[in-house]
Structure 1
């Protein structure tokens, strides 16, 4: 028998808190207790063997008859979710796995968050394959229902490993707490990365933005950037940040290169030829001619748009290797980076999952890989130039390509860590707001090497012209966030505000806790939609956490099972928010290896909403909260009082959504029940409530600080006596619906940025 805290292997069984999770466990599987970690019930699982080979696969034991959810890579760059009940359902390249088992004791009691009335019969076991030395572990299943550990270095010369700490296993009764504490325990063990909570979040995530990609692709110009910003500003929705995506850099093909031009005009065979901008971003620039005066380079357009449009942040795109094809060797201006052609070698797991044009191009043409010993110089010179031009941050793309280039560099883990350490050091030096978005980076080589990077693109791209992509985009981000959200704040990607699925995408981003930005072409906007997301000053009502599926959705498949809705929960300062989406009908096809519509006419589905869907709601409620809540529906405009443990039905047709604001009810000293909702026209209404004070200054009075403008709503069991703003200096007219208890008051558009109203309601 080998034993860790709450985890044991004995008699061929892996047992977790008394529940059997794996059977027929192999004799060479060992358990090592975690020491000093954040999770009491957790241990490392490893193997004993000859510990030789650059790629080894070790069967652990059989998983049968237990529901699981995993996130796995369906592309070299990106993850998505898979649900199942047995080992053979676990795909190659699974980087996170959570299994549900039923406790024999059962029962219902308070959970770790103090939540009452929660069914605690379930035990949640999380499996985190991690890094050990120069090796990276990943999970997969086999035809015998066995869970396997695949261990690889990415370099034939790196073939010796320890094997004792390959997978961390943690367990408990609250899945979200288990995952958080498991990642924190691994953080303490590896000491190579930091949990999201310890990272500086760049301020750009709190503002509305625009990205040039879907508007212009690589044909973007400085004039196009100006047109896009002007177009949005004219409609009363001013962007406060812009991302100048691929298309600004100086690139070219090798003379004998083979062109691979994607539909979006990116040529994957191009390589970086200079760290400065191309002629399209030089003042009066001409192709083939480079200006020497920095004031006539990128700085001229950045200065102009910041001054004219009151932009706070300008980011630009670049690949982690400079460009898709890397840095071109043999160019005088780039020689000191010592780039050499390298040819990607994908792992067998990645080779089995998709055909990728970008990877095919890079494999055919090679990639100009900067000498890892010179890569800090490369990043620092690039970023210092950008910073001197007024750039505030970078979107760093194509990151997972590094895992294919480890041969000759000590393996994939060592190469990735060297690059990420250099990248983060350069960001810290040149972009003090931690201005970086990590992209195409869904591998654990990078995640477990990121000490500072705080924002990560959470799914494959928004594809405006692919009808099969929209519902699975929302579902993939939500489930990926269960894992990714422990490392960084997930970024839901840009979307089009004028699009058949625009409201669906917008609502999801409102509950995602993410930056909100669009990629509209100039003149093609839906300002009515954007006003549900963006305040007149360009700020957004961002929720506090990464948005994740509710507990009762974790093991259901809302894209394929024909019966489940996807519910995504988040928290504000004093309220919760739940977005509900009918995502049925489309998903990733493992045969054709692309998103497909598998049901042209998905059924209408009915589900339920409960206060406990907002998992951490007790943390923002009054300490004497009884469990009663008020729920406000964004589209329905209805206020419903939900007594503790009572549910509200919700019915959605295919591709429909609804957003619910969930507010704990407070009973005041005079018996009046009250719950502030927020700005009713915004998707995330409750995000407007910055401060909330019950009866501290006078009895039967509620004082609130509200950010934004429009109709503010609250629930009250009796009609208020008076509502004032600005500490009582101005009495406001208000409405009151006797039947629903909805109180409404109109807050005018303020003059200043991030303006707040001090509102007092006397009851």
Structure 2
């Protein structure tokens, strides 16, 4: 390990290692051994690195100082970017890795090359595997400093660097929790454990996902205006789409009016209400029509973290009446004040107005722009924390914490949203990109590894009539997050959506954030001749979606086993594939081989065999076991309660003598391999299935 510091206006300075102290202690995280490493350059610049080892994880703290003997002389200070670099020459034994890095201002994507020197700048999570053991290095974005990883910086330019940045400049001290390093056999538990250790040490600037409440609104099917109308959205188009949904009998329960509705001038917000040319009677009229005439339960609107892309217009009435809640940046932009107690006033005024117009929730875009507006004036941690605290306080007051965070996968955003539960998990859905699904699926699956410890991922809207429509539907089915479409007028295919939801429009939503299976977690499915397999839970069952997103156009040989689902390794399961209806028993340790054509997908259900009858649920739905509310047995029969009717399938050893649905005898259909099906789609509410045998 080495230390390099960057001072304003000077060449990087490599410090000299001096000594190490060792102590023991105990705190809220447990018992630890602490190693304190001292680095100096003369007496002017010093850095202390503390490594606090708790066994399964280690916290890394940095304390850098510049001594100033003559305070009236020109002062040296740490550079705003790359203030301190902890350099690591080598990590031995890396067999494979998966890193997540911020590839532009807004989004992250995965990286798989095990050569550490090629680790991209602004890497926000690093997982590597060595002899079946996993290691996870998590850079921390704290109250002042953001930490990133990047390749190189060690001896002869090898290894990697842990970089601390304030983006402010002028600081003579760098004090921060810089990273967490964890070790374990289960990479999924490792992700949550390392994240929670950091959050607990920081006193929870953001709650982990497991401690958040998922918004009720986003448990239902929705529609967003963006890809349907882009910035040409208006009342006529929105109402026409709502009428179309009614005509199709599609239970779309919420609608989001995206960018294009606002009153703007020169790319800046000018007023709270909608553009009068597009919404002549105001946003309240549109909302009332959607709710009263078309039965839409919730309506949301879009805005950015600073009002509009360029902030608030300085000559607007908003600037005059709410100026005390606004801040003029060095470049003249006007944004909500970067102090939560003050900035809240702007959001409270706007959100209060929107609430009175009938708006129920918001999508908040361009979040990573906070640092673009305020760098050099505020530290990256302070500006982000202030912005998110202010807006989330208002959203909690007016919209019951219901918001979709967007364009905010910069680390400072992820680590500083206090309570909001849902955040975009990838770059935009690109409906007109012929190969766009590959990158979209790749980002969503692998970003979930680090992002899912903080948020339910929003895997973005999609089109139901598109060259990738089926794959997109399956991807959303397993995601565990919101499902919403952005179809244009006359371009909705209800049959693609019905397997995603119940009759009332409620989503058949998986239990957690979906993740790549362990056999592809550190492999690149676009290049390594492996499928992208994503797992989740549906009720008590496991669910795996397999996609062929590789290049080259060749058929892919794939395999699947119960061990692809954590906690299913030793289970005997019934394996059912949605599209082919193929079904078989899978013993512990046994695998299924299958083939995938380019740009194709399969969807597998894995249901543990616990008794004579193994219900698969409503197999006309993607995540069919989700519909199983409970099951009980008595001598000669099993009873299963379903959320609603449909095509109910079950595996049984033997042949049933009679099957009843709400007391009515049903025709039994054998679909092979001891799997049977009944069609009870005449029941719109709960259904009690009774399966009898001799």
TM-score computed with the length of structure 1 as normaliser: 0.80
Give yes or no for contact 2:263–2:270 (8 Å, CA) kept in 1. yes
Matches of 1:79 and 1:652 in 2, distance apart? 27
| Pairing of 1:22-421 with structure 2 (within 5 A) | 30-33=49-52, 41-47=56-62, 49-50=64-65, 53=78, 54-55=80-81, 56=83, 57-66=85-94, 67-102=96-131, 122-142=132-152, 144-163=157-176, 165-191=177-203, 192-253=205-266, 270-280=267-277, 282=279, 285=280, 296-338=281-323, 339=326, 342=329, 367-373=333-339, 374-407=342-375, 409-421=377-389
- Is the partner of 1:162 in helix, strand or coil? strand
TM-superposition CA deviations, 1:162-188 (whole Å, max 9, x none): 25x201111111111111111111121
Give yes or no for contact 1:533–1:541 (8 Å, CA) kept in 2. yes
Give yes or no for contact 2:538–2:624 (8 Å, CA) kept in 1. no
The alpha carbon displacement at 1:49 in A equals 4.7
Q: 1:237 to 1:95 in 2, by over 3 A?
A: same
Matches of 2:191 and 2:482 in 1, distance apart? 24
Give yes or no for contact 2:209–2:455 (8 Å, CA) kept in 1. yes
Matches of 2:296 and 2:492 in 1, distance apart? 19
Matches of 2:32 and 2:492 in 1, distance apart? 54
- Is the partner of 1:382 in helix, strand or coil? helix
- Is the partner of 1:402 in helix, strand or coil? helix
Match of 2:688 in 1: 758
Q: 1:759 to 1:145 in 2, by over 3 A?
A: farther
Unaligned residue ranges in structure 1 (runs of 5+): 13-26, 103-121, 254-269, 286-295, 345-365, 586-600, 619-625
Matches of 1:7 and 1:556 in 2, distance apart? 34
Match of 1:575 in 2: 541
The alpha carbon displacement at 1:762 in A equals 2.5
- Is the partner of 2:543 in helix, strand or coil? strand
- Is the partner of 1:316 in helix, strand or coil? strand
RMSD: 2.4
The alpha carbon displacement at 1:133 in A equals 4.0
Match of 1:681 in 2: 620
The alpha carbon displacement at 1:310 in A equals 2.0
Matches of 1:29 and 1:665 in 2, distance apart? 56
Match of 2:675 in 1: 742
Give yes or no for contact 1:606–1:652 (8 Å, CA) kept in 2. yes
Matches of 2:211 and 2:255 in 1, distance apart? 26
Matches of 1:736 and 1:745 in 2, distance apart? 9
Q: 1:196 to 1:635 in 2, by over 3 A?
A: same
Give yes or no for contact 2:254–2:296 (8 Å, CA) kept in 1. yes
- Is the partner of 1:500 in helix, strand or coil? coil
Matches of 1:96 and 1:577 in 2, distance apart? 26
Matches of 1:685 and 1:90 in 2, distance apart? 40
How many pairs were matched up?
A: 638
Match of 1:112 in 2: none
TM-superposition CA deviations, 1:605-647 (whole Å, max 9, x none): 11111112122448xxxxxxx6111111111111111111110
Matches of 1:616 and 1:389 in 2, distance apart? 48
Matches of 1:65 and 1:710 in 2, distance apart? 52
Alignment partner of 1:550 is 2:560: no
- Is the partner of 1:161 in helix, strand or coil? strand
Matches of 1:708 and 1:237 in 2, distance apart? 17
Give yes or no for contact 1:544–1:570 (8 Å, CA) kept in 2. yes
Give yes or no for contact 1:7–1:41 (8 Å, CA) kept in 2. no
Match of 1:531 in 2: 498
Unaligned residue ranges in structure 2 (runs of 5+): 1-19, 25-29, 38-45, 67-76
The alpha carbon displacement at 1:454 in A equals 0.2
Give yes or no for contact 1:69–1:97 (8 Å, CA) kept in 2. yes
Matches of 2:193 and 2:637 in 1, distance apart? 39
Q: 1:48 to 1:417 in 2, by over 3 A?
A: closer
TM-superposition CA deviations, 1:446-497 (whole Å, max 9, x none): 2111221100110000011112321110111010011111111001100000
Match of 1:611 among 554, 559, 562: 562
Q: 1:569 to 1:703 in 2, by over 3 A?
A: same
Matches of 1:29 and 1:334 in 2, distance apart? 46
The alpha carbon displacement at 1:579 in A equals 0.3
Greater Cα shift, 486-495 or 123-132: 123-132
Matches of 1:89 and 1:708 in 2, distance apart? 52
Q: 1:158 to 1:331 in 2, by over 3 A?
A: farther
TM-score computed with the length of structure 2 as normaliser: 0.87
